[in-house]
A and B are shown apart, each in its own frame.
Chain A
């Protein structure tokens, strides 16, 4: 291929990682970094042992514990009461020791959700390929990395070969244009952008595609916001989401532990700048979104695509786009205990969860604390904040955010995945309704029978205070 052919960000990263393209087989793609956690790795390590294969590049693997650890206290995490969970964490410790992988354990100052610590430590960098046995690996695409979730057999494959056989995905450009300087309407966040996209294209709208997000509204987002957008690419069915690295990316990375330093930094930045999509490069598909028309979003059903704006109502059956959607709507009304046509703001909540790899970053906690400041959680609402990482927790405490949350009646927890998927003790009871900043509202996701509504941190905070979904655009901020 001529070097003058305009290429997309995805094509450039892809081509730089092609090990070989054997005839009649998928491309063998090099993987720069594999992130490891306790849940999807034990069978992969066991596979290596059974086959007698070494782990090829321990220095390209980093592990942490996040999915099943309790968030109540360090003591509860060091020895987990749930013996099966404890054994799983124990297996990770032994596996990391046996195979020479750096592990950020529960008591470590750098522990956190796997998709939080990669960026925080500067492990995730533009132009890399990043995988993890977790679908929200798409988060790392915010740096211009090609990052995607894989299954446990593939985790073992990467451990043994540092590669994956891959068929090249299609490219899908989603351009999001904001107001002046890419600004979003008041109260609208990165979470609302991605929920709107999923609502438009559906949960299989980007199957087989790598999405590249661009446009003034994306450029204006912080790295935290970009990670929120890329994180939920998988909820649109995409293999990955990517954003071209720019000055915002470099400012975030500069000085992080594993970012290059000195002259090497300048050399790296020069390389990273070359990754942006060339003018004139073609995408398989394009979608253009006018972000100035967006409003804060809330999901009403049991799929992230069942989403509407705070000022509207639960859609009726005749608003479903197909017969299959009608069937899903009917099932969702029943599961969610919700009537079609109900104004979203009339729906009361029992629980509020602030956290996850989608919205557990410092900017998310700041946005929520700003709403909470000076108020108290409504009546019987159970509200908790689970910072995404120890670094976020420390930063929030340094800023006094923990005091704002605690004095408002929120619980302030230790970092982990927590109620996003309820593998640890943080779960909903059957019938309990939760305003959650996480990424999935599937049946039983946060606990059997639990009812999840996805929304932004500020919107979740407002719901905690009033006890029902509330339009943050008309919030009376006391700070």
Chain B
């Protein structure tokens, strides 16, 4: 995982609540067995004209198709971003497209976890703060936002300043690009002790020997 700390970028506003992972990456791209190559499938249907003679062509009105937002590393959305399916493909697609942070009033639990494992900062600000940023970035696509993970702040050059909550351990992992599995295995002695202490608890075995 790529370490991340301070990020300054233009931001793509997607002012909708409850953006679900089916929209972030539609099902047909979940058949692949690779972990990379998802960038072109991000918001696949929303990026395309759905009907009429131009069906299937890029929809020029969709924010990620607008040249002025090209290169944005920050995505702005409304509450409950990432709800629905547990597909980590959603986090892969967002990261591989080039986003390193999503700013929204709230995030769904499983997406929140998946994003953390893929070096994406999720900054939860208040509804009003997010609206301010959405308005500024919509009015001026060149408007730059800074996300500072260490300080847990979001700011801009017009005096906007807001803090966001961040679990200290998650922050530590993001700052250092740490692999969770390796960290857990540092506690392997505890794990071995736990397993031997409950080895007679057959009711916790999927396939107990006395079945």
Task: Determine the chain A residues whose CB is within 8 A of the CB of B83 once the complex forms.
Answer: 203-204, 237
Which B-chain residue is minimally distant from A46 (CB atoms)?
B35
Asked if B141 is an interface residue, CB under 8 A from chain A, the answer is no
A62 touches B22 (CB 8 A): no
Task: Determine the chain B residues whose CB is within 8 A of the CB of A194 once the complex forms.
Answer: none
Asked if A98 is an interface residue, CB under 8 A from chain B, the answer is no
B84 touches A152 (CB 8 A): no
B205 touches A32 (CB 8 A): yes
A162 to B210, CA, bound (A): 22
Candidates B27, B78, B79, B207; contact of A258 at CB < 8 Å: B207
A435 to B114, CA, bound (A): 32
Candidates A127, A161, A259; contact of B191 at CB < 8 Å: A161
Task: Determine the chain A residues whose CB is within 8 A of the CB of B78 once the complex forms.
Answer: 324
B residues 30-73 touching A (CB-CB < 8 Å): 30-35, 45, 50-51
Candidates A84, A122, A165, A444; contact of B31 at CB < 8 Å: A84
CB B149 to nearest CB in A, in angstroms, measures 17
Identify 21 residue pairs between A and B in the complex whose beta-carbon atoms are under 8 Å apart, listed by A's number: A20-B187, A46-B33, A67-B30, A68-B30, A68-B31, A87-B33, A88-B31, A88-B33, A149-B110, A151-B114, A153-B180, A160-B181, A160-B184, A165-B183, A204-B79, A204-B83, A259-B211, A271-B203, A324-B17, A331-B16, A440-B20
Asked if B168 is an interface residue, CB under 8 A from chain A, the answer is yes
Asked if B157 is an interface residue, CB under 8 A from chain A, the answer is no
A91 to B33, CA, bound (A): 8
Given contacts A20-B191, A28-B184, A262-B210, 16 further A-B contacts (CB under 8 A): A24-B168, A28-B190, A67-B30, A84-B32, A87-B33, A123-B206, A151-B87, A153-B114, A160-B184, A167-B167, A204-B80, A207-B80, A258-B206, A324-B17, A331-B16, A422-B27
Asked if A133 is an interface residue, CB under 8 A from chain B, the answer is yes
B residues 146-172 touching A (CB-CB < 8 Å): 167-169, 172
Task: Determine the chain B residues whose CB is within 8 A of the CB of A167 once the complex forms.
Answer: 167
A207 touches B202 (CB 8 A): no
Asked if A42 is an interface residue, CB under 8 A from chain B, the answer is yes
CB A477 to nearest CB in B, in angstroms, measures 36
B33 touches A150 (CB 8 A): no
B45 touches A448 (CB 8 A): yes
A439 to B113, CA, bound (A): 22
Report the interface size for chain A: residues with CB under 8 A from the other chain: 90
Asked if B139 is an interface residue, CB under 8 A from chain A, the answer is no
Taken residue by residue from 34 to 57, chain A's Cβ proximity to chain B (1 for < 8 Å, 0 otherwise) reads as 000001101100110001010000
Task: Determine the chain A residues whose CB is within 8 A of the CB of B114 once the complex forms.
Answer: 151-154
A residues 133-153 touching B (CB-CB < 8 Å): 133-135, 137, 148-153
A151 touches B187 (CB 8 A): no
B210 touches A165 (CB 8 A): no
A126 to B208, CA, bound (A): 14
Task: Determine the chain A residues whose CB is within 8 A of the CB of B117 once the complex forms.
Answer: 151, 153-154
A59 to B204, CA, bound (A): 12
Asked if A33 is an interface residue, CB under 8 A from chain B, the answer is yes
Taken residue by residue from 15 to 31, chain A's Cβ proximity to chain B (1 for < 8 Å, 0 otherwise) reads as 01001101011101010
Candidates A151, A239, A259; contact of B88 at CB < 8 Å: A151
A444 touches B22 (CB 8 A): yes
Q: A88-B31, A445-B22 are in contact. Are A20 and B194 (CB under 8 A)?
A: yes
A43 touches B35 (CB 8 A): yes
Asked if B135 is an interface residue, CB under 8 A from chain A, the answer is no
Which B-chain residue is minimally distant from A272 (CB atoms)?
B203
CB B85 to nearest CB in A, in angstroms, measures 5
Asked if A156 is an interface residue, CB under 8 A from chain B, the answer is yes
Task: Determine the chain B residues whose CB is within 8 A of the CB of A91 once the complex forms.
Answer: 33
A327 to B15, CA, bound (A): 9
Of the candidates B28, B181, B204, B206, the one having the most CB atoms from chain A within 10 angstroms of its own CB is B206
Asked if A390 is an interface residue, CB under 8 A from chain B, the answer is no
Asked if A264 is an interface residue, CB under 8 A from chain B, the answer is yes
Taken residue by residue from 182 to 210, chain A's Cβ proximity to chain B (1 for < 8 Å, 0 otherwise) reads as 00000000000000000000011001100
CB A57 to nearest CB in B, in angstroms, measures 9
Asked if A96 is an interface residue, CB under 8 A from chain B, the answer is no
Candidates B15, B87, B191, B211; contact of A19 at CB < 8 Å: B191
Asked if A421 is an interface residue, CB under 8 A from chain B, the answer is yes
Asked if B126 is an interface residue, CB under 8 A from chain A, the answer is no
CB B44 to nearest CB in A, in angstroms, measures 9
CB B181 to nearest CB in A, in angstroms, measures 5
A443 touches B45 (CB 8 A): yes
A28 touches B87 (CB 8 A): no
Task: Determine the chain A residues whose CB is within 8 A of the CB of B195 once the complex forms.
Answer: 30, 162
Task: Determine the chain A residues whose CB is within 8 A of the CB of B201 once the complex forms.
Answer: 271
A122 touches B211 (CB 8 A): yes
B23 touches A157 (CB 8 A): no
A161 touches B181 (CB 8 A): yes
Asked if B106 is an interface residue, CB under 8 A from chain A, the answer is yes
Asked if B108 is an interface residue, CB under 8 A from chain A, the answer is yes
